Amino acid sequence: MKPRLYIKLSGDDDEFEISSKIPQLTFLGCTDTPIQNNSYGEFGGVNGSLFYYSNTGRNTITAKFLLKFKDYYQYKALRQDIYRLFMQKHLYRIRTDAEQTMVNYVIPTSFEIEPFEPLAYFSNFSIVFDNPSGYKFSRYRSDEQADIWDEYPLGWHIPIFNEESFFFTENSFKVFNPSDVVIDPYSQKHDLKIKMKFVGENILVRNDTNGSDWAFNGKLNKSDVVILDGINTYLNGSPASNKTNFGNLVLNQGWNEISVIGATETEIIFSFPFIYID
């Protein structure tokens, strides 16, 4: 079976399989390698280096293609179609059928499309995509997983979930982060939205696993909708960070034990894409 490449040009566009746009173009597969950047300190007269920290760096994804054409004129027309598709100067969302539940957000670099040899009727070429984040992401957010979970369990090392697994109505519960990394909206700018409804006053939401917390100062009733979007708080759609302790929640890998203090009624939804190194 031939591999398939799926592309989404922007957030509002429908995803499509590449050969549905250009039938003469065959996707042959892609390769990528995670990048880890290590930082060291050097000191005069001291042997070796002192390790400071590591971070995941921007990497590249190389997609390989075979283009078939019947003559030089069709080659020129198809070449124009390919460049028009891949030179739009913005991030693309791509995924393959080998990893149906994972996507990359990438931008193409310059590439050449030339016949294999003079008078040949095919061309083998590659497109190198820059992957600025260095990560792969789940195709759906945690609270949208019902669409695919039964058919394509996300990952091979995590419990089976659906979107209800990230919705809570108790004041003490556990939320699972199946990512390969800690979800940290502050230091790593990760995407984490926590949608909340409370009845109570001076609410504190705390991750007992790592000590991170968020507090709201004031009274909330059932009709109020609070969203903690990364490090920013919104109350009924209006900015409300000034009513908080300016905290945010961090999700460790695996299970996180969450406590809610000050609420007599609670509804919380954790919404985030899962992040994978490979």
Q: What are phi and psi of 144, to 5 degrees?
A: -125, 15
Long-range CB contacts for residues 22-25, cutoff 8 Å, separation at least 24: 22/78, 22/81, 22/82, 22/85, 24/67, 24/68, 24/69, 24/74, 24/78, 25/65, 25/66, 25/67, 25/78, 25/82
Looking at domain 138-276, which CATH architecture does it have?
Answer: Sandwich (2.60)
Locus of tokens 């995670």: 34
Mean per-residue pLDDT, 159-184: 87
Q: How far apart are CA 272 and CA 253, in angstroms?
A: 13
Looking at domain 5-134, which CATH architecture does it have?
Answer: Beta Barrel (2.40)
**182 near 258, Cβ under 8 Å?**
no
**Tens of pLDDT, residues 67-123:** 999 999 999 999 999 999 999 999 999 999 999 889 999 999 999 999 999 888 999
**What is the residue extent of each domain of the chain?**
5-134, 138-276
Residues 195, 196, 198: CA angle, nearest 5 degrees: 170
Report helix, strand or coil for 97.
helix
**181 near 275, Cβ under 8 Å?**
yes
Q: What is the pTM of this model?
A: 0.89
pLDDT band at 162 (very low <50, low <70, confident <90, very high): low
**Tens of pLDDT, residues 185-218:** 999 999 999 999 999 999 999 999 999 999 999 9
